[in-house]
């Protein structure tokens, strides 16, 4: 125990001594949180729609007004003598609404009045959104115009957990997890690889501290860093992001401690297996960032990942923590919903610790 | 005028006695005393005195009184090292010699085999770094491992202290074979690596705190041990300096202190004194001898052959093999050959011309030039060789001021062993 404390104290002293790196590691996630949560957005606003009105009647104006009323779309008038293709090619709009010349007359007669809607589908996601919005607007315009009442089935849609469809509330927790998955293991891996690089590990090898105690001391030190980082980011989540615990906070609190252990152990393992700072950095960037970013469901729904790769996400430690955090802050399902995820995080952390120990257990150099 | 008197105490089988005398004499030594400095080389004492004839008599009487006799006494010029240390001593206060706070008594271990290695082999892929090295080092003994760079010393030392897996062979540490990773074994071992391996980004104090923690120094002794290391390193009051900012010699001293804080009885020192000034080197060796006298077994590697003479036994490695082993005087006496010293006049590049001339007829390494002194290693009868070489030099217009046979130094022996091994086709790697 005394040796573990000595090791942990030494590690913390080194971390604090290198305060620039520490400051960077603490400030970057905050920056990331602010940047990505304002840059990333689930909803689309003010998508430019080019409207080419060959009719110019009051009916066509009414119809265009329906589009103007939408907050999602922004109507951009387009002269009739310019081709619609040009509008799309020059990125003046994401779609073109072309109203033919007999629109008003056909409407008045009560016959079909076709309009053309050209959509730039180079960005599939936006194209789908624009099409859906345009369809909705047209449908409701038809209903108003014909004065017909709604059909027998009415859907009353209510948005739960995030009623304002606020992206901040969805991405906030995700980026919080991403920050935690990246920076503490990065510091841990660099510190561990440095021991091998500068050969300070030799003096440790000959001492009477066994590998598991040495690693544990190191991991605890970086757990403290992770928890400090977690604290800073949580403050931001609870204030700027306006999040609060939706239910029982204990699963998230316990999972946070286990996740701190898990990421610290991950970094330490990488540094122990790869005793070279530059390569260790790459490995952590891959594991901590790319895997957690892409395969944890933080950004992209897991069910959208191709089936052949989807199983990988079951191994990604960040996935379980994101689910727990989102549950705690949004759904509030509590222990019944997430208990096994808490256990999995602990298990993956222990696995990392085990691998690091396995590599170091002999406390010997290779050459 | 300064002179150097060698006091050969080789008769005294007990090393403890030579230490006793050495300490008695050094107590009464100092810049303004008759005996200025005392240095111990295994079973030999080196005294720096003003008047050797007078001291010789006085010492002989004193030893007789103690019931001891001196094997041989020789007078020689002081070395540069002697003069340097003497000057430093006069300028600096006497190095702080706080007694090492020993809490354990290893003296009961004396004579036991501390390091027992049989047929150690280490191969790295196709390269064999260590070939069949067998070593026995006993408690109370200072064993010096010599060898050129790349001869396999560091690899050997790492295998011996359990840092490197053996390719084949058997190892015992303190009577324990098999698993050397047990806490009981670890606590008995101290290691100072060739490359500085303390944390450069921590302060001296933080390093010592850490190592006393992981080496398991008991809490109640910790402060005293750390104080001692600071005083030994000459860093009293500088304990909060960042270790990386210290000059190399000081780092070495801190590293040495850190390696012995837990009082190991088996100590491995890989080039402990490289980059350390002569005065501090003395302090190192005083400490090394003291630890050995206390019952520790010490394996040390060094490039300073003068230092190596202080070891009780030496092993010389060439290309991964142990090619010679024995006491310093034993190794020297086993070595055939003589060293002749010619003093030449400095005029017109004569020494260099003389060296070139002699080298044209023999292997390069046998001729070495030190200012106006030319050392020639020869296997022939020394008197004949002096005569013939002098004749040859004079014939070529080089004036020989004086010529004599000088005792083989360890350096001469080392070079000739390495060169002979090389001639036999054992490639000594240069790096």
A106-135 residue pLDDT tens:
888 878 888 888 888 888 878 888 888 888
pLDDT digits (tens, 9 = 90+) for B201-239: 999 999 999 999 999 899 999 999 999 999 988 888 899
Q: Which of B19-28, B174-183, B272-281 has the lowest mean pLDDT?
A: B19-28
Task: Please indicate whether residue A255 or residue B74 has the higher confidence score (pLDDT).
Answer: A255
The percent of residues in chain B predicted with pLDDT above 70, rounded, is 87
Element (H, E) at B312: none
Tell me which chain A residues have a C-beta less than 8 angstroms from the C-beta of B198. Answer: 200, 203
Here the ipTM equals 0.78
- B/e letters for B250-276, b = 16+ CB within 10 Å, e = fewer, are bbbbbbbbbbbbbbbbbbbbbbbbbeb
Tell me if B210 and A3 make a contact (CB, 8 A cut-off): no
Tell me which chain B residues have a C-beta less than 8 angstroms from the C-beta of A204. Answer: 214
Give B300's strand partners: B144, B269
Give the confidence band of B313 by pLDDT, cuts at 50, 70, 90: very high
Mean pLDDT along residues A348-366: 90
Q: Which of A89-103, A146-160, A176-190, B11-25 has the lowest mean pLDDT?
A: B11-25
> Which residue in chain B has the smallest CA separation from A12?
B202
Give the confidence band of B116 by pLDDT, cuts at 50, 70, 90: very high
Tell me if B210 and A6 make a contact (CB, 8 A cut-off): yes
Interhelix angle B204-214/B219-232, rounded to 10 degrees, is 140
Q: Which of A263-267, B174-178, B218-222, B320-324 has the lowest mean pLDDT?
A: B174-178
Q: Is it the case that residue A274 has pLDDT exceeding 70?
A: yes
Q: What is the pLDDT of residue B10?
A: 40
Chain B residues touching chain A at CB-CB below 8 Å: 124, 158, 161-165, 181, 183, 186-187, 189-191, 193, 195, 197-202, 206, 209-216, 219, 258-259, 262
Confirm if B316 and B331 have CB atoms less than 8 A apart: yes
Mean predicted lDDT score pLDDT of chain B: 83
Q: Is it the case that residue B282 has pLDDT exceeding 50?
A: yes
Give the closest-approach CA distance of B258 to chain A in angstroms.
Answer: 10
Give the closest-approach CA distance of B110 to chain A in angstroms.
Answer: 23
Q: Is it the case that residue B198 has pLDDT exceeding 60?
A: yes
In 3D space, the residue among A127, A159, A177 whose CA is nearest the CA of residue A297 turns out to be: A177
Q: What is the pLDDT of residue B366?
A: 86
Size of interface A-B (CB pairs under 8 A): 91
Interhelix angle A2-17/B204-214, rounded to 10 degrees, is 160
Give one DSSP letter per residue of A186-231, joined into a string: HHHHHHHHHHHHTTHHHHHHHSS--HHHHHHHHHHHHHHHHHHHHH
Mean pLDDT along residues B311-332: 90
Distance CA B136, CA B113 (A): 6
Distance CA A175, CA A302 (A): 16
Burial of A289 (0-12, 13-18, 19+ CB in 10 A): middle
Mean predicted lDDT score pLDDT of chain A: 86
Q: Which of A84-98, B1-15, B412-426 has the lowest mean pLDDT?
A: B1-15
Q: What is the pLDDT of residue B1?
A: 54
Tell me which chain B residues have a C-beta less than 8 angstroms from the C-beta of A201. Answer: 197
Q: Which of A56-65, A285-294, B32-41, B170-179 has the lowest mean pLDDT?
A: B32-41
Give the closest-approach CA distance of B313 to chain A in angstroms.
Answer: 25
pLDDT digits (tens, 9 = 90+) for A208-245: 899 999 999 999 999 999 999 999 999 998 988 888 89
pLDDT digits (tens, 9 = 90+) for B380-411: 888 898 898 888 888 888 888 888 888 888 88
In this structure, what are the phi and psi dihedrals at residue B127, rounded to the nearest 5 degrees? -95, 125
Q: What is the pLDDT of residue B101?
A: 84
Q: What is the pLDDT of residue B428?
A: 45
Q: Which of A56-65, A86-95, B3-12 has the lowest mean pLDDT?
A: B3-12
Tell me if A208 and B191 make a contact (CB, 8 A cut-off): no
Q: Is it the case that residue B95 has pLDDT exceeding 60?
A: no
Give B122's strand partners: B130
Task: Please indicate whether residue B348 or residue B174 has the higher confidence score (pLDDT).
Answer: B174
Give the confidence band of B431 by pLDDT, cuts at 50, 70, 90: very low
């Amino acid at each position: 125990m005394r040796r573990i404390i000595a090791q942990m104290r030494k590690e913390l002293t080194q971390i604090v001594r290198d305060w620039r790196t520490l400051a960077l590691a603490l400030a970057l996630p905050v920056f990331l949180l602010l940047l990505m949560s304002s840059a990333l957005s689930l909803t689309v606003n003010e998508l430019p729609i080019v409207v080419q009105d060959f009719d110019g009647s009051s009916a066509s104006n009414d119809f265009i007004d329906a589009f103007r009323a939408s907050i999602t779309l922004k109507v951009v008038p387009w002269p009739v003598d310019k081709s619609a293709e040009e509008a799309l090619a020059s990125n003046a709009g994401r779609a073109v609404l072309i109203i033919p010349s007999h629109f008003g007359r056909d409407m008045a007669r009560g016959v079909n009045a076709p309009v053309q809607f050209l959509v730039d589908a180079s960005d599939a996601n936006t194209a789908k959104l624009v099409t859906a919005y345009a369809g909705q607007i047209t449908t409701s315009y038809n209903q108003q115009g014909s004065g017909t009442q709604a059909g027998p089935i009415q859907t009353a849609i209510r948005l739960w957990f995030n009623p304002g469809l606020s992206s901040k509330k969805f991405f906030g927790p995700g980026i919080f997890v991403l920050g935690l998955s990246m920076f503490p293991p990065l510091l841990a891996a660099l510190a561990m690889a440095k021991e091998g690089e500068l050969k300070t590990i030799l003096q440790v090898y000959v001492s009477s501290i066994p590998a598991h105690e040495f690693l544990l001391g190191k991991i605890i030190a970086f757990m403290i860093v992770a928890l400090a980082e977690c604290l800073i980011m949580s403050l931001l989540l609870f204030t700027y992001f306006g999040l609060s615990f939706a239910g029982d906070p204990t699963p998230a609190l316990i999972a946070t401690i286990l996740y701190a252990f898990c990421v610290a152990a991950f970094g330490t393992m990488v540094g122990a297996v790869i005793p070279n700072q530059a390569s260790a950095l790459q490995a952590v960037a891959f594991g901590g960032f790319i895997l957690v970013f892409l395969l944890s469901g933080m950004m992209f729904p897991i069910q959208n990942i191709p089936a052949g790769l989807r199983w990988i996400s079951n191994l990604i430690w960040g996935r379980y923590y994101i689910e727990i955090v989102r549950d705690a802050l949004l759904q509030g399902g509590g222990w019944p919903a997430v208990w096994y995820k808490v256990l999995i995080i602990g298990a993956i952390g222990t696995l990392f610790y085990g691998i690091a120990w396995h590599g170091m257990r002999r406390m010997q150099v290779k050459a | 005028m300064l002179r150097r008197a060698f006091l050969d105490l080789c008769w005294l089988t007990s090393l403890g006695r030579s230490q006793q005398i050495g300490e008695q004499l050094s107590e009464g030594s100092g810049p303004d005393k008759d005996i200025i400095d005392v240095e111990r080389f295994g079973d030999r004492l080196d005294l720096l005195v003003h008047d050797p004839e007078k001291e010789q008599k006085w010492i002989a009487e004193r030893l007789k009184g103690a019931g001891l006799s001196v094997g041989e006494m020789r007078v020689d010029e002081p070395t540069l090292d002697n003069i340097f240390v003497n000057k430093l001593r006069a300028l600096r206060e006497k190095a702080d010699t706080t007694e090492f706070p020993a809490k354990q008594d290893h003296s009961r271990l004396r004579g036991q085999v501390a390091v027992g290695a049989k047929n150690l082999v280490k191969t790295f892929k196709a390269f064999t770094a260590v070939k069949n090295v067998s070593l026995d080092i006993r408690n109370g003994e200072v064993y010096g491992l010599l060898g050129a760079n790349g001869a396999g010393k560091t690899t050997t030392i790492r295998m011996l202290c359990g840092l490197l897996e053996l390719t084949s062979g058997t190892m015992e540490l303190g009577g324990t074979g098999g698993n050397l990773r047990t806490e009981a074994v670890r606590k008995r071992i101290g290691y100072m690596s060739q490359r500085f391996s303390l944390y450069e980004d921590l302060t001296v104090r933080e390093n010592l705190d850490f190592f006393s923690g992981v080496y398991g120094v008991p809490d109640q002794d910790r402060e005293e041990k750390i104080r001692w290391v600071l005083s030994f390193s000459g860093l009293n009051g500088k304990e909060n300096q960042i270790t990386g900012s210290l000059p190399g010699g000081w780092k070495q001293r801190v590293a040495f202190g850190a390696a012995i804080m837990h009082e190991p009885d088996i100590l491995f020192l890989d080039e402990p004194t490289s980059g350390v000034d002569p005065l501090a080197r003395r302090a190192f060796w005083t400490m090394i001898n003291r630890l050995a006298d206390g019952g520790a077994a010490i394996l040390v590697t060094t490039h300073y052959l003068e230092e190596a003479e202080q070891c009780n036994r030496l092993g010389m490695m060439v290309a991964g093999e142990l090619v010679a082993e024995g006491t310093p005087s034993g190794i020297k006496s086993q070595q055939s050959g003589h060293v002749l010293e010619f003093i030449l006049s400095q005029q017109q590049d004569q020494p260099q011309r003389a060296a070139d001339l002699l080298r044209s007829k023999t292997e390069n390494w046998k001729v070495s030039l030190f200012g106006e002194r030319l050392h020639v290693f020869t296997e022939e009868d020394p008197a004949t060789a002096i005569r013939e070489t002098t004749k040859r030099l004079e014939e070529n217009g080089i004036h020989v001021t004086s010529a004599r046979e000088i005792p083989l130094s360890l350096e001469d022996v080392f070079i000739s062993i390495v060169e002979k091994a090389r001639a036999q086709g054992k490639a000594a790697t240069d790096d």
